C-alpha cells in the first residue's frame, strides 16, 4: 500500500448506489451461500498464510534479498499445491528487470537568460536538495542538460477528450517543461474541469513526464505545492540522495523525459517573476480553458552524476484454466513485497508488513483455494498474480502491463487486494476511484451478500486509485477494481481507534506484525466478496467496461475493437 489518501480510509460519507442495468448477474451475488468455495475462506486459513509471510524469517520481503527468495519459494509451493498452471514459459515467475539509481550530491545547476541578457528581478539561485530534487529515467551515469529553455506549460496535460492541451502551439523539442501539481479541476475545485477535486491520472507526475516526452521535451520540473499534496517540501528533501528503484526501460514502455525533478514553490514563483510574469495570475490562468504555454526566456544548464545498479525481482503468476472459454481471463492481484530491514524502532528493524500486504497475499491464496474446492473450474480462466515492487512504485505491475502473460484485450477485469484490515467485521466496502468502472455495480450484490454496503472514498483528491497495483493495467484500459472493507461511519470509537492506531503507529513500521489481537472477520468478508465478484465474472459472459466519464473508457473500447471483441454479452 502506498500513500493512502490522508490516512483517512476509515472516514467515509454514506452514498447509496444503484445497480447498473444491462450487466448479467448485476442484481445478485454469483456465489450462492451454500457454494463450497465459500466454506474454504476462513480466518484460520488466512491467518496461517500471514503468519508465514510476515514472520521475521522472511525479513520484511524486500525485493532482491533473501526475503524475496523465501517468499517466492512459499508462493510457488502454494501455487503448485493448488494445481495452478505455471504460465510464464513453464514457470510461475515473471522476471522484472530493475535499476537502482542514486543521484549523487552537489550536481551543477545554473540558470541564464537567453542571449546572455541581464534583467531585474534577478534569476534565483537553485540549490540541490534545498530547492530541487532530481531524478533520471535513463541508464546513463551522467545526466547533462545544456542550455535548455524553461517553458511554463501550466499543468502539462494533453487530454483531447476533455478539450484540453497545455502544449498547443509550443515547440518543446530540447526544452524543459515547468508544470504545476495535480490537474486543473483540483486546485480551484471546479467540478466542470476534469473530475473536480478528485485527482485524475492526468495529474500524476509520471503521466506528465510521458506527455512532455511525447511533445519532445527533455525534462519536467514539477512545482511542489504543499496546499495540494498535503506535506512540506522538507519531507522530499529528507529523501535527497536516497537510492530509488525503477524498471529498466523496455521496448514496450511509454517513453518518459530523461530528466524529472521537483522544485520548491518559492523557486517556481521566482522564475516566473524573473520572466516578467505575475506568478499568481499565471498560475490561475493555467487552470482555465484556452491557456497557452509561456516560454520563459530562461535556460537551464545541469550536470548530475548518478550511481546506476542493475537488479531484478519477480512477479508470481498461476492460472486456473477455464472449462469453456479459457482464453478469457479474470485476474486477482496482491503485492507480496514490503520494505525489508530498516531503521530500528524500539529495537526492531524488521518491517514485517503483516497488514501491508501479507493480508492481501493471504487472501489471494485463500481465494485460489476456494476456486479449487469447486467441483469444476469456471467457464473463464482465473489468474492469480502476486506482484513485486509495489512499495517501490508499482514496478511489478507496470512491467506486467507492458509485458502481459495474458493478452490485455482478453483480460475481463482485474480485482486488486492491498492492505486488508484485521479489526473485525465491518459494514461497508470502500471503492477507490469511485465512479470509474462498471465493476462497482457488480460489486454491490457481492458486498450485500456479506452484510455490507458499497461506499466511495471520501478523499478522492489524494488519488488512492492511482497508487496500487491495479492502476498500471487500468492505464492500459483493463477494467480494474480496488476496494477494501471499512466501517460505514465513525460512530464506533473502539473500531475507529484501531484504524487510527494502525495508520499512526504501524503503517510502514516494524510494528506492522501479526498479533493475537487480530480479528480477521473483516478480511474474511473481503475475501468472500472478491470471490463472489470474480466468480460471477468467470462464470458469466459480460465484458465490464469503464463508465462513459472515465479517462480509460476510450482505451478499452479501442482495445476491444482492435481485437474484434464485442463489449455486449455473448448470445
**3-state DSSP of 550-569:** CCCHHHHHHHHHHHCCCCCC
Task: Give mean pLDDT, residues 300-310.
Answer: 95
pLDDT of residue 157: 97
Calculated CA dihedral for residues 36, 42, 46, 48, nearest 10 degrees:
-110
Please write the tens of the pLDDT for every residue from 321-350: 999 999 999 999 999 999 999 989 999 999
Q: Are 210 and 255 in contact (CB under 8 A)?
A: yes
121: three-class secondary structure by DSSP: coil
CA 85 to each of CA 69, 91, 322, 411: distance values in angstroms, whole numbers, following the listed order? 20, 8, 11, 17
pLDDT top residue among 69 and 129: 69
- Give the rounded percent of residues in the chain with a pLDDT score beyond 90: 76
> Per-residue pLDDT for 23 more than 70?
no
| Whether CATH 3.40.630.10 fits 5-13+45-100+314-384+410-563 | yes
| Phi-psi region at 59: left, alpha or beta (left = phi > 0; alpha = psi -120 to 50) | left
C-alpha cell at 296: 520563459
pLDDT of residue 414: 98
pLDDT of residue 195: 86
Task: Give mean pLDDT, residues 97-105.
Answer: 92
CATH of domain 104-309: 3.50.30
Task: Give mean pLDDT, residues 149-159.
Answer: 97
pLDDT of residue 30: 61
DSSP string, 136-170: E-SS-SEEEEEEEEEEE-TT--EEGGGTEETTTT-
Q: How many CB atoms lie within 10 A of CB 262?
A: 19
Please write the tens of the pLDDT for every residue from 518-555: 999 999 999 999 999 999 999 999 999 999 989 899 99
Task: Give mean pLDDT, residues 3-17.
Answer: 33
pLDDT, mean over the chain: 90
| CA gap 393, 209 in Å, rounded | 15
Handedness of CA 319, 325, 328, 333 (dihedral sign): negative
| Of residues 92, 54, 56, the one with CA closest to residue 314 | 92
Half-sphere exposure for 472 (CA within 13 Å, toward CB) = 21
Q: 212 φ, ψ to 5°?
A: -65, -40
Task: Give mean pLDDT, residues 204-229.
Answer: 95
Domain ranges across the chain: 5-13+45-100+314-384+410-563, 104-309
Please write the tens of the pLDDT for every residue from 397-419: 999 999 999 999 999 999 999 99
Residues 6+ apart with CB under 8 A from 507: 1, 7, 355, 356
pLDDT top residue among 564 and 301: 301
pLDDT of residue 246: 95
Q: Are 44 and 523 in contact (CB under 8 A)?
A: no
| Of residues 201, 158, 155, 211, the one with CA closest to residue 178 | 155
Residues 6+ apart with CB under 8 A from 276: 119
| Of residues 274, 8, 316, the one with CA closest to residue 125 | 274
pLDDT of residue 568: 52
> Per-residue pLDDT for 570 more than 50?
no
* CA-atom Rg of the chain in angstroms: 24
| CA gap 388, 400 in Å, rounded | 10
453: three-class secondary structure by DSSP: strand
Quick one: DSSP state of residue 19? Answer: P
Task: Give mean pLDDT, residues 108-126.
Answer: 86
CA 528 to each of CA 33, 452, 485, 489: distance values in angstroms, whole numbers, following the listed order? 10, 12, 11, 22
- In the chain the first and final C-alpha atoms are separated, in Å, by 40
| Chain position carrying cell 486459513 | 45
Please write the tens of the pLDDT for every residue from 187-204: 666 778 898 888 899 999
> Per-residue pLDDT for 53 more than 90?
yes
Amino acid at each position: 500500500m502506498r500513500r493512502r489518501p490522508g490516512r483517512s480510509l476509515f472516514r467515509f460519507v454514506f452514498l447509496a448506489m444503484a445497480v447498473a442495468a444491462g450487466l448479467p448477474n448485476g442484481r445478485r451475488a454469483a456465489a450462492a451461500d451454500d457454494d463450497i468455495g465459500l466454506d474454504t475462506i476462513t480466518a484460520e486459513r488466512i491467518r496461517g498464510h500471514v503468519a508465514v509471510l510476515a514472520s521475521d524469517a522472511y525479513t520484511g520481503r524486500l525485493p532482491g534479498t533473501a526475503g524475496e527468495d523465501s517468499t517466492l519459494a512459499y508462493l510457488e509451493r502454494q501455487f503448485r499445491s493448488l494445481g495452478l498452471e505455471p504460465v510464464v514459459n513453464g514457470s510461475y515467475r515473471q522476471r522484472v528487470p530493475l535499476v537502482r539509481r542514486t543521484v549523487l550530491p552537489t550536481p551543477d545547476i545554473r540558470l541564464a537568460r537567453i542571449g546572455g541578457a541581464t534583467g531585474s528581478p534577478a534569476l534565483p539561485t537553485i540549490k540541490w536538495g534545498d530547492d530541487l530534487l532530481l531524478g533520471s529515467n535513463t541508464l546513463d551515469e551522467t545526466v547533462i542538460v545544456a542550455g535548455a529553455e524553461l517553458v511554463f506549460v501550466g499543468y502539462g496535460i494533453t487530454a483531447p477528450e476533455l478539450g484540453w492541451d497545455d502544449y498547443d502551439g509550443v515547440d518543446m523539442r530540447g526544452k524543459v517543461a515547468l508544470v504545476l501539481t495535480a490537474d486543473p479541476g483540483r486546485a480551484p475545485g471546479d467540478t466542470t474541469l476534469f473530475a473536480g477535486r478528485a485527482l485524475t491520472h492526468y495529474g500524476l507526475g509520471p503521466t506528465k513526464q510521458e506527455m512532455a516526452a511525447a511533445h519532445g521535451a527533455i525534462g519536467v520540473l514539477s512545482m511542489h505545492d504543499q496546499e495540494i499534496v498535503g506535506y512540506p517540501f522538507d519531507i522530499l528533501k529528507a529523501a535527497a540522495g536516497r537510492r530509488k528503484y525503477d524498471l529498466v526501460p523496455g521496448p514496450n514502455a511509454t517513453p518518459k523525459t530523461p530528466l524529472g525533478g521537483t522544485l520548491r514553490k518559492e523557486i517556481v514563483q521566482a522564475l516566473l517573476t524573473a520572466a516578467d510574469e505575475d506568478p499568481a495570475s499565471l498560475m490561475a490562468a493555467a487552470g482555465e480553458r484556452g491557456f497557452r504555454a509561456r516560454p520563459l526566456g530562461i535556460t537551464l544548464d545541469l550536470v548530475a552524476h548518478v550511481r546506476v545498479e542493475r537488479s531484478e525481482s519477480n512477479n508470481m503468476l498461476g492460472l486456473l484454466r477455464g472449462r469453456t472459454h479459457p482464453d478469457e481471463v479474470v485476474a486477482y492481484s496482491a503485492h507480496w513485497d514490503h520494505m525489508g530491514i530498516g531503521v530500528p524502532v524500539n529495537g526492531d528493524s524488521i518491517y514485517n508488513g503483516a497488514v501491508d500486504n501479507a493480508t492481501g497475499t493471504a487472501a489471494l491464496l485463500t481465494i485460489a483455494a476456494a476456486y479449487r474446492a469447486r467441483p469444476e473450474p469456471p467457464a473463464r480462466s482465473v489468474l492469480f498474480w502476486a506482484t513485486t515492487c509495489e512499495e517501490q512504485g508499482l514496478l511489478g505491475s507496470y512491467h506486467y502491463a507492458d509485458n502481459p502473460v495474458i493478452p490485455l484485450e482478453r483480460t475481463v477485469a482485474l480485482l486488486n487486494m492491498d492492505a486488508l484490515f484485521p479489526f473485525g467485521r465491518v459494514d461497508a466496502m470502500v471503492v477507490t476511484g469511485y465512479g470509474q468502472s462498471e465493476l462497482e455495480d457488480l460489486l454491490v450484490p457481492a458486498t450485500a451478500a456479506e452484510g455490507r454496503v458499497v461506499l466511495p472514498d471520501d478523499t478522492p483528491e489524494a488519488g488512492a486509485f492511482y497508487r496500487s497495483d491495479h492502476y498500471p493495467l487500468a492505464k492500459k484500459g483493463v477494467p480494474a477494481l480496488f476496494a477494501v472493507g471499512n466501517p460505514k461511519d465513525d460512530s464506533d470509537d473502539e473500531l475507529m481507534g484501531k484504524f487510527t492506531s494502525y495508520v499512526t503507529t504501524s503503517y510502514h513500521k516494524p510494528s506492522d506484525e501479526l498479533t493475537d489481537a487480530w480479528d480477521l472477520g473483516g478480511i474474511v468478508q473481503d475475501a468472500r466478496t472478491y470471490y463472489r465478484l470474480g466468480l460471477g465474472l468467470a462464470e458469466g459472459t459480460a465484458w465490464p467496461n469503464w463508465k462513459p466519464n472515465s479517462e480509460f473508457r476510450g482505451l478499452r473500447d479501442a482495445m476491444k475493437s482492435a481485437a474484434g471483441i464485442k463489449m455486449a454479452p455473448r448470445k
